[in-house]
Structure 1
Amino acid sequence: MTDLAATPLDFAAILAAIPPASDAAPPPRARDLADRLGVPEAALSEARRATGETRRLARGDHKGAFRDLLIGVGGVGEVMALTRSDHCVHEKHGEYLAPEIEGPVGLFLGEIDLRLFLFNWKYAYAVNEVTRSGPRRSLQFFDAAGEAMHKIYETQATDSAAFTALIEAHAEDDAPAAEFAPIPPAKAPRPDAEIDVAALRADWAAMKDTHEFFGMLRAHDVAREQAMRLVGADWARPVPLDACRHVFERASQTGQPIMVFAFNRGCVQIHTGPVSTIKVMGPWLNVLDPRFNLHLREDRIASAWIVRKPGDTGDVTSLELFDRDGFCFVQLFGERKPGKPEREDWRALLAELEGEPA
């Protein structure tokens, strides 16, 4: 591997190392190329500013820097939203509607369903690139380490003129070269012996809303997966690592609507609805539907849990996937309507897994 990750980065050398696109050799995906060159993915976009292929957009110099840009996406019509981690890529077609952005956090509700943590966003680019499917434009957002937080792709249904106008309104062509720095590692969980398990169980059972869960974890200073292990099988039960494949295949067969959450540090992207076309290709479990695609690395699943949390209309049940670092990168739920109990077909589907050894 060529390692160009010197400090500061030599963007001219990075640009020279990017292979030209050709019909004989489709261009590598940006994340794969960045890994090959030993640089952050955003460094490719920064290097391509020299050719005009990319332009810097609203800087992340303050917590609300991206608000107007994101709200402006609502005026371009249908796009494709992409959120990914090292283990999962979540792609959803729709419009950016009903924004609620206050300071460094926000959400969009509708077919494009997002939860945004903008305090972890740093850089934005407008990107013109040649992809496996031809030329494509996008807005791409990265954290301080140059890791992609979220991407918004123009499609055939996008208002192209409005997309261009949005870029022009937010372009900052005179922005200085980006500087990337590693993200400090997450704090190691406390030893199990220091956790008051009885108090954890009591507070878990006392929740009235699933949104209280994160505050409860903070109050007990317990990591998410650690809490699963300690709280007891009535609230969290390990299941086989292929549980997610079973859920997708059964949901495809029955047509029941599910919710698919994909996480990274800066964004949660959610699909709600049925899933139809499920294909396994090597380590990748894929959902290949017209308006929703998911690409999930099954070999990156270190543990899988069925988790129950009390809610205002009864327990809410999820299947949660963790990597070897204890990061929850995918959650699956049954489709949920506010004020309605959880769907019985979803509970029945997960019950099929609970008799299997983890």
Structure 2
Amino acid sequence: MTRLTKDELFTKIEDTRAATPKLRARDVAEKLGISEGELVCAGLGRTATRLKGPWSEVITGLGNLGEVMALTRNHAVVHEKVGEYANIEFSAHGGIVLNHDIDLRLFLSHWHFGFAVSEDTRSGPRRSLQFFNRDGVAVHKVYLREGSNAEAYDALVAQFRHEDQDSLIETSPVPAPAADRPDTEIARDDMLADWAALKDTHDFFPLLRKHKVGRQQALRLAEGRFAQRAPVDAVTRVLEAASASGAPIMVFVGSKGCIQIHTGPVSRIEPMGPWINVLDEGFNLHLRTDLVADAWVVRKPTEDGDVTSVEIYDAAGDLIVQFFGERKPGMTERDDWRSLVAEAVLGQGVAA
């Protein structure tokens, strides 16, 4: 759309919301041809305060807020967890929040813009901290709850308040990932040998980089040995089977700048149109089943034995969600998870 002033854009956003009140912020932005980050920024001086980094220090400050709701999403899945930010650490490669409820892996090179947002909703005022990539796509959001420390929130916003509270942000496109090389250029036997020698699930991404192979391309090349195609309704199968059996699972959802993890059982599974939802106390998941193109069951060797995941991809080949059985380093994989995958996902007998 034509470049507008902040006030002009805010008016256009309000008019769009008035005409289509049920649209979420992301959908309003898409309707107007702008990013969600630009939509939020248009509220400067009204509904939003722009923040500045260092983002690692902002995230550390989240530990003072008490109980909040953390939200990470991509275009197909929304992952919401209630808990506290604790056990926060940073290194040259990123950050980690290692709490049972709020469990995050952070990639701060994708955190470019931050805002404190105050909105009036049908359920009352809602305050949040929202962070965006350089293209204006959300990487992570934190919402206050009734029991949150509002004074700590105000202090955090004051401490990291950006000096410019008037200008619209300047977004820029994120380069598209390089196309996969032809399968014939991949040293498949060497890749499979390295796959067989994996010691930890975290070694899988370095394996992909070493062999310059795409993630789903690697699964195709490993099909029959370490990977097996699954039905496209694998998400629903996993969630309904986990709910019925009580088997605790792990649910990984990532944006460019954050991976958010749920660990534990799931109970209330509700389909609604194209969405499959988990509506549990402390954990909500909302996934667009119509955006699922491929599903795989993947096996990765580790020092603790094989680890099995169910991986879900969209039509572009992007990973949108992963499922594991609940597990900690040093523990072997749960038998109930292996049985769930074999029976509910693959329609086989109990895994050996």
Give TM-score scaled by structure 1 length: 0.93
Aligned length: 345
Identity of aligned residues (%): 49
CA contact (8 A) 2:17 2:23 kept: no
List per-residue Cα deviations over 1:192-232 (Å, max 9, x = no partner): 11111111111100111111111110010000000000013
List per-residue Cα deviations over 1:72-95 (Å, max 9, x = no partner): 000110000000000000000000
Verify: 1:331 aligned to 2:322, yes or no: yes
Verify: 1:217 aligned to 2:213, yes or no: no
Residues in 2 aligned to 1:27 and 1:157: alpha-carbon distance in whole angstroms? 27
- Cα 1:23–1:178 shift into 2, 3 Å: closer
Given candidates 107, 129, 151, the residue that maps to 2:96 is: 107
Aligned equivalent of 1:280: 271
List per-residue Cα deviations over 1:152-177 (Å, max 9, x = no partner): 00001201111111111111142553
User: Structure 2 counterpart of 1:14, which letter?
Assistant: L
User: Structure 2 counterpart of 1:33, which letter?
Assistant: V
Aligned equivalent of 1:249: 240
Given candidates 334, 338, 354, the residue that maps to 2:346 is: 354
Residues in 2 aligned to 1:333 and 1:181: alpha-carbon distance in whole angstroms? 35
Residues in 1 aligned to 2:164 and 2:250: alpha-carbon distance in whole angstroms? 42
Residues in 2 aligned to 1:194 and 1:18: alpha-carbon distance in whole angstroms? 49
RMSD over equivalenced CA pairs, Å: 1.8
Given candidates 259, 274, 288, the residue that maps to 1:297 is: 288
CA contact (8 A) 2:266 2:280 kept: yes
CA contact (8 A) 1:27 1:131 kept: no
Given candidates 180, 192, 195, the residue that maps to 1:189 is: 180
CA contact (8 A) 2:295 2:312 kept: yes
Residues in 2 aligned to 1:200 and 1:23: alpha-carbon distance in whole angstroms? 55
Given candidates 49, 70, 83, the residue that maps to 2:72 is: 83
More displaced stretch, 167-176 vs 257-266: 167-176
Residues in 2 aligned to 1:103 and 1:78: alpha-carbon distance in whole angstroms? 28
* 1:1-358 superposed matches below 5 A: 4=1, 6=2, 8=3, 10-19=5-14, 26=21, 28-49=23-44, 51-59=45-53, 65-103=54-92, 105-110=94-99, 111-174=101-164, 176-352=167-343, 353-355=345-347
Residues in 1 aligned to 2:20 and 2:194: alpha-carbon distance in whole angstroms? 56
Residues in 1 aligned to 2:229 and 2:96: alpha-carbon distance in whole angstroms? 31
- SS of equivalent to 1:189: coil
Residues in 1 aligned to 2:16 and 2:120: alpha-carbon distance in whole angstroms? 7
CA contact (8 A) 2:312 2:322 kept: yes
- Cα 1:24–1:92 shift into 2, 3 Å: same
Q: Which blocks of at least 5 consecutive residues in structure 2 are unaligned?
A: none
Residues in 2 aligned to 1:336 and 1:104: alpha-carbon distance in whole angstroms? 24
Q: Which blocks of at least 5 consecutive residues in structure 1 are unaligned?
A: 60-64
Aligned equivalent of 1:62: none
- SS of equivalent to 2:310: strand
User: Structure 2 counterpart of 1:12, which letter?
Assistant: D
User: Structure 1 counterpart of 2:176, which letter?
Assistant: P
CA contact (8 A) 1:104 1:119 kept: no
- Cα 1:43–1:11 shift into 2, 3 Å: same
Residues in 1 aligned to 2:195 and 2:16: alpha-carbon distance in whole angstroms? 54
1:310 Cα deviation after fit: 0.5
CA contact (8 A) 1:21 1:27 kept: no
- SS of equivalent to 1:187: coil
